[in-house]
Structure 1
């Protein structure tokens, strides 16, 4: 005898009503099981995990509180906590819907829950897209910036290879975190100097962003700045101290002159890369290159894959400065992409990186690229690029 008949015999109710009751009970049990499974997944796989089949429509307060603990988030009162929970829940549902709609498509782009998930898009952009809200040509350099890019008569840089990733050559330091300070301009500039120094002296050392903030002369470095201003300071000071000796505190302070005499990171100048992606590829084939991009809310939810949108196309609004460390092409769908190092920590994106679609000047990526100059081991560079197939 089936379970439905046993229930009917015990409570003496019509079989049709019993069947309906059993379905309701099964549905409740199934729902509870899925919620418990989600809670376990969120804890064991991290905040970026999103169930690919999109089987949950809501996220509970308890799950939000787990996220708060993971990201050390606190709120001044219960009313603010409820408001943030509402933002978080809405964002979770939209991310789940987006990823479900992406299934079966050629695009690899995925969204995910991360440390920004309790923020509105406006809040996110006001903090993390405020690095440069003006025309960089208005900055008056102490040294001048050439309008063309020269690669020291190196034939191998004139034709960019089909792919390159400077992380493989130990020219890139670990991903850092700027915190809630609009200092991305300093992080990108320092990362470029680190790459340049790795070529010049064979030393991969994390250098000081705080020294740039405190000592470069920017009125408020947490409200934005220019990469060239950072480069000017490095040239003027004769170099940078290490991050270990002049640590980052995510706010601008008074320049500590006792720490500015250590010159571990140096450059001799810089040049503007012509504003097109082919010349940008040539520059990146030479070394990691800092660029200013116009970002939109799409960056807030980026989890992985090839980013194809999420930009602000006003060239002087919502600017964020990052470092291009290479480029490549996916084997499955032959998508060309830039490999971009961000400064939002390793919990964001692909362990702190984003792959941006290459070939359409996405987010104005080629418009404001600056190449640091130094004395280089040209033969070493030729060896790396010699066996690479040129772009067709």
Structure 2
């Protein structure tokens, strides 16, 4: 069990939450409906955190910009899981932020471009939202990689984000690609008994990897805080495959922390997660997920990474 921090959890009221996350509602009826959902979610957060303080959970959750969304709205709507090893996105366009589904693959390309070409270039997520076929209804992560292989990735400075991300007319014509892909690869699973060992090797030797998390319908990842005091996310299941959620994240590292409860240690993955971005915390968007714990959330089962072309070089 994770270390329990004896700290009082502050909660925002509805108007404070609306102001912080700059929420807009189409009508007063819509605002009332959202406030009702928000109130129900807040009670769920309080209950979970009370149980966390009793040592019943390994992580604490918080109010996020998704606090007015129902579980159904946050569930898997557009992602398809193929019979072959491949990752998929799950971010739901009904959240009003279509671009979140593409943040993990685009972030992976940015990271690998930095590794290969020694240059950190912020790439356009809006390009994929606007220009990919069905860009407002995203499917597999490899769809994003395949698109970038064919068309290249334009920089954010040349193809600006609309806030929030909304699908519009493709404006990639006559814009030069800042980064090009040679191909993408799946992380090969050589150890079926411990696939996380293969993921660890890939992250250490190759760089950040896009992984698809599969978690139970009742999990709270969308409400999980990025604070280092809020524990390590763990979803014990059980998984009802008809209701399971799927979500693409970027695995950027791993580590070990001490558990003061029993003086032992706990291993964790560090993930960059679009569901966490936007909070005013220095760790915003980065979470810890349990590592070497029965392949938690199938984190190692559906993982892939892009192979970026060297500047001025042909495909390698």
Question: What TM-score results when the alignment is normalised by the length of structure 2?
Answer: 0.75
Aligned counterpart for 1:362 among listed residues 290, 296, 301: 296
- C-alpha distance in 1 between matches for 2:7 and 2:247: 30
Question: CA shift at 1:231, angstroms?
Answer: 1.6
**Deviations along 1:231-268, whole A, 9 cap, x unmatched?**
2222223x3110121122323333324344x2221222
Q: Kindly state the Cα deviation for residue 114 of structure 1 after the two structures are TM-superposed.
A: 1.6
The 1:310–1:282 alpha-carbon spacing in structure 2 relative to 1, beyond 3 Å, is: same
CA distance in 2 between counterparts of 1:182 and 1:356 reads: 25
* 1:94 CA drift (Å): 2.7
Conservation of the 8 A alpha-carbon contact between 1:245 and 1:259: no
Name the one with the larger helix percent.
1
Which residue of the other structure, out of 183, 188, 203, is the alignment partner of 1:284? 203
Deviates more, 1:345-354 or 1:196-205: 345-354
Is the contact made by 2:98 and 2:129 (CA closer than 8 Å) also made in structure 1?
Answer: no
Is the aligned partner of 1:199 residue 2:102?
no
Does structure 1 retain, via aligned residues, the 8 Å contact 2:105–2:141? yes
Q: Structure 1 residue aligned with 2:279, among 317, 342, 347? A: 347
The 5 A counterparts of 1:162-311 are: 180-216=96-132, 218=133, 220-237=134-151, 239-249=152-162, 250-260=165-175, 262-275=176-189, 276-285=195-204, 286-295=206-215, 296=217, 297-303=219-225, 304-309=230-235
Checking the alignment, whether the CA contact within 8 Å between 2:272 and 2:287 is kept in structure 1 is yes
The structure with the larger Rg is 1
Which residue in 2 is equivalent to 1:372? 306
Displacement of 1:186 in angstroms is 2.3
Matched residues in 2 for 1:318 and 1:209: separation? 23
User: 1:361/1:367 Cα in 2 relative to 1: closer, same or farther (>3 Å)?
Assistant: same
Pair 265,336 (structure 1): closer, same or farther in 2 beyond 3 Å: same
How far is the alpha carbon of 1:184 from its aligned partner?
4.1
- The 1-side partners of 2:201 and 2:30 are apart by 49
Which consecutive residues of structure 1, in runs of 5 or more, have no partner in the other structure?
1-50, 140-177, 377-392
In the other structure, the counterpart of 2:36 is: 86
Give per-residue Cα distances to partners, 1:22-43, cap 9 Å, x unaligned: xxxxxxxxxxxxxxxxxxxxxx
CA RMSD after TM alignment? 3.2
State the distance in 1 between where 2:155 and 2:236 align: 34
SS of the counterpart of 1:212?
Answer: helix
Give a deviation string over 1:152-202, Cα, whole Å, max 9, x none.
xxxxxxxxxxxxxxxxxxxxxxxxxx9724444422111111111101111
CA distance in 2, matches of 1:132, 1:280: 22
- Counterpart secondary structure, 1:330: strand
Q: Distance in 2 between matches of 1:316 and 1:105?
A: 27
Distance 2:266 2:59 in 1: 11
Map 1:92-131 to 2 at 5 A.
92-103=42-53, 105=55, 108-125=58-75, 129-130=76-77
**1:116 to partner: Cα distance:** 1.5
Change (3 A) 1:183 1:362: farther
* CA displacement, residues 100-148 of structure 1 (integer Å, 9 cap, x when unaligned): 22226396511111212222211222xxx44523317499xxxxxxxxx
Alpha-carbon distance in 2 for matches of 1:343, 1:228: 18
* Stretches of structure 2 lacking an aligned partner (at least 5 in a row): 1-5, 87-92, 190-194, 311-316
Q: Distance in 2 between matches of 1:53 and 1:253?
A: 44
2:47 is paired with a residue whose SS is: helix
User: How many residues matched?
Assistant: 277
The answer to whether the 8 Å contact 1:280/1:366 transfers is yes
CA distance in 2, matches of 1:103, 1:352: 23
Residue-by-residue CA offset, 1:3-35 (whole Å, 9 max, x unaligned): xxxxxxxxxxxxxxxxxxxxxxxxxxxxxxxxx
CA distance in 2, matches of 1:315, 1:137: 18
